[in-house]
């Protein structure tokens, strides 16, 4: 079925001229963008895209659409947040259909909310198109279920990147005790420091943990370790990575077919005891 027929069948909204759509591209695999996100990409006159958006996805843009890099990763020209927001407003005011395409979900640790606030205050019509976030979909691609009723009834999502580029000044004791599973974005370079803080706050040093890099892509790399080993497992590359700590990490072996679920018992030992 072609995209026009699909739009009609699914009754997708029209991408109006002079508006901005803030869409999530998913964690990496181009197949993980939503149908609505792809529909926007096919219709946009201008696409401002982040560093982690796959080139194969950008190739789906309408021929003639303006593709504008708006990423902030090391090694590439870094775009200032104020310039990105200003460009969104100015292109929309010129009557363009403007797609702001961000990695994962636009509102998860990606400054999408800041862009939406600028648009709202400037009176520019906009729509938010949710995406698959790395901390859920990326882990799923790595065969790590973000929840399982035997391991965790709660999850905490944390960013390791403060406004000044340092580890944010968080209450690590509260985080250690708050949920059995912790999922950390942008925390690779602070992995050893975070693990030490969590262990000091009562988390078990031998608790299952993993570093998942380039989740959902052919270059995906999953290093399963313990909380005490997290710093070492996170070292040696600067690929985008999720840190995950908790008993649910041990379920990966079962999903990979290398262990029996029953061999993980007593499952209580997979639960955080902090
Ligand atoms: C600026 S944040 C954006 C998060 C994004 N909005 C989301 O919902 O996934 C970028 C961080 O997300 C994580 N990330 C994004 N894509 C990833 C991937 N494919 N594999 C592992 N981590 C990823 C990394 O921690 C990376 O440093």
Per DSSP, the three-state class of 257 is coil
Is 50 annotated as catalytic? yes
Do 160 and 211 sit in the same domain of this protein? yes
Residues 128 and 151 occupy one common structural domain? no
Instruction: Identify whether 164 is a catalytic site residue.
Output: no
Instruction: Characterise 3 by phi-psi region: left (phi > 0), alpha (psi -120 to 50), beta (else).
Output: alpha
197, 219, 209: which is closest to 243 by C-alpha? 209
| Same domain as 84, residue 8 | yes
Same domain, 188 and 71: no
User: Do 41 and 115 reside in the same domain of the chain?
Assistant: yes
Nearest 5°: the CA angle 48, 159, 271 is 135
Pocket of ligand 1 contains residue 176 by CB under 6 Å: no
**CA dihedral in degrees (233, 237, 238, 242; nearest 10)?**
-30
**pLDDT string in tens for the chain (274-residue length):** 677 787 888 889 999 999 999 999 999 999 999 999 999 999 999 999 999 999 999 999 999 999 999 987 645 567 788 899 999 999 999 999 999 999 999 999 989 999 999 999 999 999 999 999 999 999 999 999 999 999 999 999 999 988 888 899 999 999 999 999 999 999 999 999 999 999 999 999 999 999 999 999 999 999 999 999 999 999 998 999 999 999 999 999 999 999 999 888 655 556 665 5
Q: Are residues 181 and 123 in the same domain?
A: no
- Biggest alpha carbon–alpha carbon distance for the chain: 62
37 Cα–ligand 1 center, Å: 18
Tokens of 262: 């029953």
Return the pLDDT at 273.
Answer: 56
Q: Which of 114, 132, 150 is the last residue of a domain?
A: 132
Decide: 213 in ligand 1 pocket, CB within 6 A. yes
User: What CATH number has the domain bearing residue 232?
Assistant: 3.30.950.10
pLDDT value, residue 170: 95
Instruction: Check whether residue 10 and residue 89 sit in a common domain.
Output: yes
Residues 178 and 155 in one domain: yes
Helix, strand and coil in the chain, % to nearest 5: 35, 20, 45
- In this prediction the pTM is 0.94
Spatial contact of 115 and 82, defined as CB atoms under 8 Å apart: no
Cβ neighbours of 206 (radius 10 Å): 12
Q: Is 152 a pocket residue for ligand 1 (Cβ < 6 Å)?
A: no
Domain range for 13: 3-132
Is 179 in contact with 198 (CB distance < 8 Å)? no
Tell me what pLDDT residue 75 has: 52
Q: Is the domain of 109 the same as that of 172?
A: no
Give the pLDDT score at 76. Answer: 58
**In terms of domains, do 84 and 142 share one?**
no
253 annotated active-site = no
Does residue 240 sit in the same domain as residue 139?
yes
Q: How many domains does the chain have?
A: 2
């Amino acid at each position: 079925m072609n995209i026009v027929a699909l739009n009609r069948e699914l009754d997708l909204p029209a991408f109006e001229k002079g508006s901005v759509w803030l869409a999530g591209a998913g964690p990496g695999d181009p197949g993980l963008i939503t149908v609505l996100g792809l529909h926007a990409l096919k219709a946009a006159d201008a696409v401002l895209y982040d560093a982690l958006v796959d080139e194969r996805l950008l190739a789906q843009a309408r021929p003639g659409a303006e593709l504008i890099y708006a990423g902030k990763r090391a090694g590439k020209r870094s775009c200032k947040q104020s310039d990105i927001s200003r460009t969104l407003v100015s292109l929309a005011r010129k009557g363009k259909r403007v797609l702001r395409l961000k990695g994962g979900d636009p509102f998860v640790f990606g400054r999408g909310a800041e862009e939406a606030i600028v648009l709202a205050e400037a009176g520019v019509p906009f729509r938010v198109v949710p995406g698959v976030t790395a901390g859920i979909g990326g882990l799923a691609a790595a065969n790590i279920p973000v929840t399982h009723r035997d391991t965790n009834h709660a999850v905490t999502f944390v960013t390791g990147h403060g406004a000044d580029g340092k580890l944010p000044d968080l209450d690590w004791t509260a985080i250690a005790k708050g949920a059995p599973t912790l999922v950390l974005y942008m925390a690779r370079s602070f992995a050893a420091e975070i693990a030490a803080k969590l262990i000091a706050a009562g988390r078990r040093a031998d608790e299952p943990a993993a570093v998942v890099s380039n989740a959902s892509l052919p270059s995906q790399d999953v290093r399963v370790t313990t909380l005490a080993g997290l710093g070492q497992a996170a070292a040696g590359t600067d690929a985008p990575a999720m840190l995950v700590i908790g008993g649910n990490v041990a379920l990966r072996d079962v999903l990979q077919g290398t262990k029996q679920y029953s061999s993980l018992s007593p499952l209580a030992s997979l639960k955080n005891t902090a």
